[in-house]
Structure 1
């Protein structure tokens, strides 16, 4: 079955309202990604503050709150459009170009991964829709899309980019069968489907194991593959370390490795600590001690024992090194929101872990005072929800407004003495300064 036929006969009727329109900008400069879920008019984010006093006293530049989402959407829709046109040569060229230059969005997402996701999005989303209840409806064309991609793979021969796209599609469908939560209850039928798709993904990628030099895009696919293979526990750290060596600026790979080295997935606490230190040593020229922080970032947010075992001094040193090596306000907001919101609001009843979280939460004060120059509301909104990758955001502008309200409340509390004294806090390119109101 050709993909064009699959899209017109199967995907479009199934997805319907899921199809994404080109983002529009309303009269307030607010992104309107889905017109059908947006009220006629919503005030700008700058006007939606928790209190009038904070609105008057805190002056923080706030760029387009969904700029990172728009940037990601651009690359995803490019891949999706080319796939619907069956223009796989251009998909391959676009992925190779982005992969060679290690191009990333302002938020650090590899562009090659975004194009790849767009190219397989219709197939994967149709499958996810069919599996919303945990099992497909009778007669659901759940294999039609992946069979169409398999035909594309057969025509493209030894192109590693297309092979990785199809392998990723199999892995995405496998996780749709299983569920993405580490403790998800899975039926025997779903387990078998999960394993079958991962087995096929492994067969697709096997011919490229010895490819040299190894492209980072292919190394990322091999990391994803380890997550569903029976021997993943033995090799997942090696797969991630190879990817990190190829692309040391890819902090997302470090965060994913830390999460997968938790006991609930494929590792243990000793291995997590060891690999965090090894990664920091090997990427010192890029991040200083920062890689230790990146590897531990999500692991300690999800696991009390990992948090209790953390070398807090090393982690804080890593925070300093990360922020001293970048002027990227996306990362500054990420670290400030993580410390203040993710760790500051997490209390799991584990005394040692809670003590560590309190120490990390205190870091928000110096991060905001020394490094914050603008506000990225979407990051604060995600931080309040523990950076849940499976979170579905139905209305991005309202989600961003909630993040901005959280951020202004936290920042307002930090500068409460200045505000109470009748002064105004203005965030400049050099950081926040207080001025007479």
Structure 2
């Protein structure tokens, strides 16, 4: 395919943009689909990999094959099995195994009723039967964590005080279940990640302690960006952290993982933190951040990562015109990375990643999958059209391939 593009096309010119993205013309979606030649993947390798792990965990739990489930979780931990996008295979297996219990509780709360205890009691019984197996303890503990968030999100009949008490009870029980185990001693990143998540939710958490535990977790599994992104969120001021500590830990993490990520850990730590709190821009070293983005895409040239970082620049970093000048300049520099990410790295569109960038984590209820895919596709096409408004307005098309992006002159 690439040789056809090189024969009949000319390399996309790096022309100065005549209009800011907000002022660029907005052709209808049908026109954009013709002008922007980019294969759209409604189901991606990342989704298929996640579903495979989750379905396996669900099947083993339904068949009460708990010993086999524990073995598979431990094996996934020991091999650092992960999806193409870096999601932990062990945690996905655990998610599938508890999903029936959690879904039933969420449905009850959505209907305004307290969940029946049967499901979580059954998991507790399994945990007692396999006492000493951290993998089964992980499933039971994370079921309690999920129930805690469900109570916080949808208290029955509006009884907020009771919901808070129930959430606290589930979180305390999860901590008790995991307390006899140590993620570092077990060589189990999934266990260490769960313990870090519980610390983040604790009322008496301390900045230094959180950072130290995440340092151990990241050292245990440095190839996974998931832990770095969770660290950034944990250190936000709204989580009782600070921008100062967020910046410090982003730099320290980059220094410790340079042999794997280059400077990539620096933007990984900031990625979700910036999505939740644009105030963190005030501390960002934009040159270091941009170097890190380039290192990430050199080491992870997959399309999941390319879409993730393109959507971050195009959608997540949309800002407030009234923000301070320093933050506005930092944002503009990071948004400028969209150009080379699109030109040099993107050749498939993963719509759900773009939809996710539009929504604050935890937002609900969500539309149908088809609606989410459509929303993500429209968002991506309009962002690309704004970035290359001159070429599209002039009647040209732009095409994406593994060899790079090309301009197709109008005939």
TM tier, smaller? 0.7 to 0.9
1:281/1:144 CA distance change after superposition, 3 Å: same
Q: 2:307 aligned to 328, 333, 345, which one?
A: 333
CA RMSD of aligned residues (A): 2.3
* In 2: Cα distance, 1:333 partner to 1:304 partner: 21
CA distance, structure 2, for counterparts of residue 413 and residue 392 of structure 1: 29
1:428 maps to 2:401: yes
1:121 to 1:52, Cα distance in 2 relative to 1, 3 A: closer
- Residues 396-433 of structure 1: CA distance to partner in whole angstroms, max 9, x if unpaired? 12211221112112212323333344433221111101
Match of 1:275 among 217, 236, 249: 249
C-alpha separation in 2, matches of 1:278 and 1:50: 46
Q: Is the 8 A contact 1:59 1:427 kept in 2?
A: yes
Deviation of the 1:281 alpha carbon: 0.5
1:240 aligns with 2:218: no
Distance in 2 between residues matched to 1:87 and 1:304, nearest whole Å: 45
Q: Distance in 1 between matches of 2:183 and 2:300?
A: 35
Alignment of 1:14-93 (within 5 A): 50-65=28-43, 67-93=45-71
Q: 1:174 touches 1:197 (CA, 8 Å); kept in 2?
A: yes
Task: Answer yes or no: is 1:367 the counterpart of 2:350.
Answer: no
3-state SS, counterpart of residue 190 of structure 2: helix
2:119 maps to 1:119: no
Cα distance, 1:193 vs structure 2: 2.0
**Cα displacement (A) at 1:62:** 2.4
Q: Secondary structure at the match of 1:434?
A: strand
Equivalent pairs counted in the alignment come to: 379
Q: Is the 8 A contact 2:200 2:210 kept in 1?
A: yes
Change beyond 3 A, Cα 1:88–1:123? same
Structure 1 partner of 2:276: 302
One of 408, 411, 415 as aligned partner of 2:381: 408
Structure 1 residues 348 and 204, CA, compared in 2 at 3 Å: closer, same or farther?
A: farther
Is residue 2:178 matched to residue 1:200?
Answer: no
The Cα shift of 1:142 comes to 2.9
> Structure 1 residues 210, 281: closer, same or farther in 2, change over 3 A?
closer
Inter-partner Cα distance in structure 1 for 2:271 and 2:169: 32
Q: Partner of 2:260 in structure 1?
A: 286
Classify the secondary structure of the residue corresponding to 1:425: strand
The alpha carbon displacement at 1:166 in A equals: 0.7
* Superposition map of 1:309-324 within 5 A: 309-324=283-298
- Three-state SS of the structure 2 residue aligned to 1:374 is coil
**Equivalent pair of 1:63/1:376 in contact (CA under 8 Å):** yes
Distance 1:350 1:108 in 2: 34
Cα distance in 1 between the residues matched to 2:44 and 2:368: 11
Give the 3 Å change call, closer, same or farther, for CA 392–106 of structure 1 in structure 2. farther
Structure 2 spans left out of the alignment, 5+ residues:
1-26
| SS of aligned partner of 1:264 | helix
8 Å CA contact 1:378–1:403 kept in 2: the answer is yes
Offset, 1:65: 3.9
Per the alignment, in what secondary structure is the counterpart of residue 207 of structure 1? Answer: coil
Q: Distance in 1 between matches of 2:359 and 2:214?
A: 26
Q: Which residue of 1 aligns with 2:239?
A: 265
Which residue number corresponds to residue 173 of structure 1? 147
Partner of 2:195: 222
CA drift of 1:186 comes to 8.7
